[in-house]
Amino acid sequence: MIHALSYALADSVNALLIGILVAIGIMLPRGQYRKVAALVIVGDWLGVLAASAVVTFIFVGIRDHIEALLASPIAGWLLIVVGLGLAVLSWRSKGQSNALVERLLVPLRVPSKSTVAIGFIMGAVQSLTSLPFFLGLMFLAAGDFGPWITYGGLVVYASLALSLPTLCGLFVAVVRARPDSAAGKLFAKARANSHQVALVGSYLVAAFLVLMGALSLMGLSE
């Protein structure tokens, strides 16, 4: 279970959602920001929950294969390779903002059903393209838990996967209310160095994946 929760936290480094929350925090008036940000986060959470439920159902059906994979060095080496690949891609991108953020901002200017739908799609797509997401659910599916714990735990899993974006959204709200506070000054500094902040976040995730891969290989060698 600890492994599953650890990967859920790693999955919370969602640059796309965090970038959108910061962007709408800059362009929307105070009342609009709270509504739009809340709907986007709720939609994203539902997307992560739906994706995790489907993937977990599949993994539980092939539990023997999942257990064999986790007991082999394949998972560890895969983590290391993906971590190193992410570090290289981050270095080459130099933390440049994704053009997708700009396109998604167009329908996010007012709160509506489409706001939740966009959040749902982002949550599902981001999860299904994330290695920590799949590995966390592998550990959850391979654990000696009953159905209530396995599937009920997905609520906690999805919440942890949205923990960092939610904190960022709340931070933006505080900054908007008190722009001259210490938090406001920190936000202004981070916004002025957004590329570097994104780069550091990517490097941290890459380092986490490499570390988990190395620990997995060390555990198998004992």
Q: Confidence class of residue 132 from pLDDT cuts 50, 70 and 90?
A: confident
pTM reported for the whole predicted model: 0.79
Residue range 88-126, pLDDT digits in tens: 876 776 655 555 566 767 778 888 888 999 999 989 988
Residue range 179-213, pLDDT digits in tens: 777 767 776 676 666 666 666 666 777 787 788 77
What pLDDT shows up at residue 56? 94
Position 65 pLDDT exceeds 60 = yes
What pLDDT shows up at residue 16? 77
Q: Are 64 and 205 in contact (CB under 8 A)?
A: no
Cβ neighbours for 21, distance < 8 A, ≥ 6 positions apart: 37, 40, 41, 165, 168, 169, 172
What pLDDT shows up at residue 58? 94
The letter for the amino acid at 62 is I
Residue range 150-182, pLDDT digits in tens: 899 899 999 999 998 899 888 888 887 777 777
Position 21 pLDDT exceeds 70 = yes
Distance of CA 132 to the CA centre of its chain: 9
What pLDDT shows up at residue 44? 94
What pLDDT shows up at residue 42? 94
Q: Are 162 and 45 in contact (CB under 8 A)?
A: yes
